[in-house]
Amino acid sequence: MDDHEIFARLKKAEGRWALVTLVTALGSSVRAPGAHMAVCEDGRYVGSFSGGCIERAVAAEAVEAIRLAEPRLVRFGQGSSYIDIRLPCGGGVDLHFQPWDFPELDDRVEAALTRREPFGLDLFLDGSAPAFIAGYQPTVWDMERRVVHTGHWPRPRLLIVGHGAAVARLADQGRAWGAEIAVRTPDADLVCSLRRDGHKADRLEKTSDVDLIQSDAWTAIIFLFHDHDWERFLLADALNKPHFFVGAMGSRRAHKVRVESLLNIGVDQDRIDTIQAPIGLFHSARDPSTLAVSVLAQVADAYRRAHFAFSLADVEGTQRPQGRSGSGRRASRYGF
């Protein structure tokens, strides 16, 4: 979730820095393989691998790697030579330390993050410069070649479509989670308020403004309309676009009416069945903040469970994300 901040720091920071990558995890681990920290030669760092258990030791190791200008692979916790540094969970992590001074690579990573494209990095132990990989690759440690392959998905994006106080609450909480936020609402005052708070928000002028429903396979599209007449055509369009989650607010009775409305305009039942409704992990949340927490928890779980894969490149050379759910629920056409 913090790749943007970490790579931005590497690109723009003064002084010498190192990229530290979690390669493998034994037992329990706060972060998954592929997570990063960025560490400065003065010991400052961005990112984390634990709840504060090893970050100081990681920073010290990174400073030494920067001083010697040599990459290294170090284990902390279980099986480590650092007997005085232990993870409370009893696990262990292997970390790759790469002194960083690669402006061209910085530009390619920044472009991929900005365009919301998956990418990978190959990090070597023999002193070779890291390599940028277009498209996703699993994070693994190739012992034979002594190279770490890392993979990065775009961070989740919340496209919130609706009106009412819950829209702003969810936008704020989603941003705190680390997601990109976009809001579409017919409420002009809400648009102004959201923009003042730094959110991207656009006004819906009519119920057929489907051009404002823009998404990709890492987007959750969330409908928070009390007036459900607003959502029919927008929701129908959303179901035809890439996403890993589509959910809509309202009671079970309201959803039954919603289903009939969508069927009447030709939406397939299979697509309708992918709508998460009533939305949220716990239903009947009546205040905006609780509803937002409930929705965000469900979306975060959907993103965590989604397994994104790629088809062959199309004729334009782009890769089309596809996904499948690990939750046991009916999978949507694209992402979840």
Q: What is the DSSP string of 181-249?
A: EEEEES-HHHHHHHHHTT-EEEE--STT-GGG----TTEEEEEE-SSGGGTHHHHHHHHTS--SEEEE-
Whether the predicted pLDDT of 78 surpasses 60: no
pTM: 0.83
CATH fold for domain 157-324:
Rossmann fold (3.40.50)
In this predicted model, what pLDDT tens digit does every residue of 274-305 receive, in sequence order? 999 999 988 766 789 999 999 999 999 999 88
Least confident of 47-61, 110-124, 252-266: 47-61
pLDDT band at 30; cut points 50, 70, 90:
low
Mean pLDDT of 254-272: 96
Task: Render pLDDT for 17-26 as a digit per residue (tens, 0 to 9).
Answer: 999 998 987 7
Domain map (residue ranges) of the chain: 3-152, 157-324
Could you give the count of Cα atoms lying within 13 Å of 118 in the half-sphere of its Cβ? 22
Strands 321-324 and 219-224 turn out to be unpaired
> Is residue 12 scored above 50 in pLDDT?
yes
**pLDDT, position 51:** 65
Model pLDDT for residues 220-235, shown as the tens digit of each residue: 999 999 999 999 999 9
